[in-house]
């Protein structure tokens, strides 16, 4: 389910990026015509700006050397094949110069840890596009709990709208009588092997052109006969399914995104009626574990008891005893301090993993249920960098975790459930970092807040040098230490400073 929630977040991000909603233009806005992102006039303007920029770039004698260097990195085949864990497999989507549209493939968890895994190619998107004469772009896949079939999402040209097709893992082909939807903005996922929950803009839409209704579809029935289980409002961002597979059973929710950072969650009752969970709209759902909803808080939440939970906390709410007007028993997994932030959460079968930063330095915490509370263990990983929960297994004990910083290439760690992660794959160094160093400092903002920042520079720096200052703030995106092959090759290796 983590991949589906990530897809939901990306979907919201694409709405933001496209300006599809909450965009107000007035007749006196001289740039309003640029909103027509597929129009001939805006595209001609883009081509003109690209030509101006390229002319200046190509006038630099280093242009071709730098171009070739960047292309070498992009086409490199020794990248880490990041994957998602499911049952006994690791699924991966791979693109390279020979497979520009990509290969969707898998291998066993044991074989994945080898230097050269033996990949089983499930779908060759280049071959599919050629056969069907379509510019297909792979947008993701979700598989049934029994790992017999999968829902493949394909987009024409990479847009938000996707066609959904069901794929048989045993026969290695699309099925003609399975779950499928024509191209539209929306999402679909398995509740069980023979039932899907889906939302599609083929039906009622929000004002931004995304799905406004969620429907339940049972195998063997016509899609037109699938009942509408929830309908949002035209002014919502979108409505989407959220499915969780747990040891206690499968749980399906409907997400009503009221705004970019406010959502309501709906759960089916025993009478078949879907009701709104008694959660604040600032709750950000992460999964279900041990019959508890796991979520973080974007704002403080005062419970009916009068107790206030701090924003940023990782919280569990028992489903047992939860009613439309009654909050289930609450347990707190983690309350961040003033310099701490939860960056990502993975809810596995046996444990919950959270990447948490402390003054922008990452660590991975593992939470395990114990009685009415939780244990909190920090995994042994390198410090002074960024950690991320890459994937956790809903059907097993395993987890994949990554680490990197400005001078250390991304490294993938595998945890078999024993809380002892081991490095299994690493990106080769793309530039010589032996003569460089990264230091962390703080600057005081106008209101006195201490803002941490990093400086990566030559160790033997004797005076001023060309410097790039970069910062970002917005949409709950933290700017943490990351490895950039191109920055290292084209800037740091030539004596530049990066802040």
Rounded Cα distance between 490 and 499, Å, is 15
pLDDT in tens, 337-377: 999 999 999 999 999 999 999 999 999 999 999 887 899 99
pLDDT of residue 24: 42
Exposure on the CB side of residue 269, measured as CA atoms within 13 A:
11
Nearest one of 411, 386, 388 to 399, comparing CA atoms: 388
Partnered with residue 196 across adjacent β-strands are: 190, 217
Interatomic CA distance for residues 162 and 128, integer angstroms? 15
Tell me the C-alpha to C-alpha distance, in Å, between residue 242 and each of 137, 187, 258, 355, 441: 23, 9, 15, 22, 41
- Tell me: pLDDT of 3 over 60: no
Taking only the tens place, the pLDDT of each residue in 45-101 is: 999 999 999 999 999 999 999 999 999 998 888 999 999 999 999 999 999 989 999
The answer to whether 202 and 187 are in contact (CB under 8 A) is no
Q: For every residue of 317-344, which 3-state class applies, written as one string?
A: EECCCCECCECCCEEEEECCCCCEEEEE
Average pLDDT, the chain: 92
* Residue whose structure tokens are 């297909």: 136
pLDDT band, very low/low/confident/very high, at 137 (cuts 50, 70, 90):
very high
CA distance 393 to 381: 20
Can you tell me the distance from the alpha carbon of 30 to that of 34, in angstroms, rounded to the nearest whole number? 9
Instruction: Write the pLDDT tens digit of every residue in 301-348.
Output: 999 999 999 999 999 999 998 999 899 999 999 999 999 999 999 999
Specify the pLDDT at position 229.
95
Give the gyration radius of the chain's Cα atoms. Answer: 24
Helix or strand holding residue 40 (H, E): helix 40-58
494 has pLDDT over 90: yes
Higher pLDDT, 3 or 54: 54
238-273 pLDDT, tens digit per residue, is 999 999 999 999 999 999 999 989 999 999 987 888
């Amino acid at each position: 389910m983590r991949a589906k929630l990530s897809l939901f977040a990306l979907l919201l991000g694409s709405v933001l990026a496209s300006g599809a909603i909450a965009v107000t233009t007035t007749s006196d806005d001289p740039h309003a015509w640029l909103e027509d992102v597929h129009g001939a006039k805006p595209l001609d303007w883009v081509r003109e700006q690209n030509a101006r920029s390229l002319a200046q770039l190509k006038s630099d004698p280093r242009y071709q050397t730098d171009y070739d260097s960047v292309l070498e990195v992009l086409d490199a085949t020794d990248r880490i094949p990041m994957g998602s864990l499911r049952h006994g497999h690791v699924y991966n989507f791979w693109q390279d110069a020979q497979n520009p549209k990509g290969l969707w493939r898998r291998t066993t968890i044991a074989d994945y840890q080898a230097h050269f895994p033996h990949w089983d190619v499930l779908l060759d998107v280049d071959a599919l596009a050629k056969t069907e004469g379509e510019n297909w772009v792979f947008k993701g896949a979700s598989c049934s709990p029994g790992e017999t079939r999968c829902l493949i999402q394909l987009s024409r040209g990479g847009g938000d709208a996707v066609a959904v097709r069901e794929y048989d893992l045993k026969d290695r082909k699309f099925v003609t009588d399975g779950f499928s939807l024509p191209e539209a903005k929306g999402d679909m996922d398995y509740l069980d092997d023979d039932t899907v929950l889906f939302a599609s803009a083929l039906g009622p839409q929000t004002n931004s052109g995304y799905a406004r209704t969620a429907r339940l579809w049972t195998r063997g029935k016509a899609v037109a006969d699938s009942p509408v289980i929830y309908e949002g409002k035209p002014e919502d961002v979108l409505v989407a399914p959220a499915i969780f597979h747990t040891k206690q059973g499968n749980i399906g929710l409907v997400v009503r995104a009221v705004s970019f950072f406010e959502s309501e969650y709906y759960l089916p009752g025993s009478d078949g009626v879907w009701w709104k969970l008694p959660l604040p709209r600032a709750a950000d759902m992460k999964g279900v574990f041990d019959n508890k909803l796991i979520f973080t808080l974007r704002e403080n939440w005062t419970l009916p008891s009068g107790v206030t939970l701090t924003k940023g906390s990782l919280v569990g709410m028992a489903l047992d005893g939860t009613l439309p007007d009654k909050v289930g028993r609450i347990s707190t997994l983690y309350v961040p301090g003033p310099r701490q932030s939860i960056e990502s959460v993975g809810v596995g079968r046996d444990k919950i993993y959270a990447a948490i930063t402390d003054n922008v330095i990452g660590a991975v915490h593992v939470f395990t249920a114990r009685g009415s509370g939780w244990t909190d263990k920090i995994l042994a990983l390198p410090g002074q960098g960024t950690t991320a929960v890459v994937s956790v297994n809903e059907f097993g004990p395993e987890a994949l975790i990554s680490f990197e910083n400005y001078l250390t290439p991304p490294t993938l760690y595998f945890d078999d459930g024993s809380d002892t992660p081991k490095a299994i794959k690493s990106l080769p160094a793309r530039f010589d970092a032996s003569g460089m160093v990264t230091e962390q400092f703080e600057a005081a903002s106008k209101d006195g807040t201490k803002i941490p920042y990093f400086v990566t520079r030559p160790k033997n720096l004797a005076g001023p040098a060309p410097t790039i200052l970069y910062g970002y703030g917005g949409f709950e995106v933290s700017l943490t230490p990351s490895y950039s092959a191109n920055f290292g090759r084209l800037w740091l290796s030539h004596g530049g400073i990066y802040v």
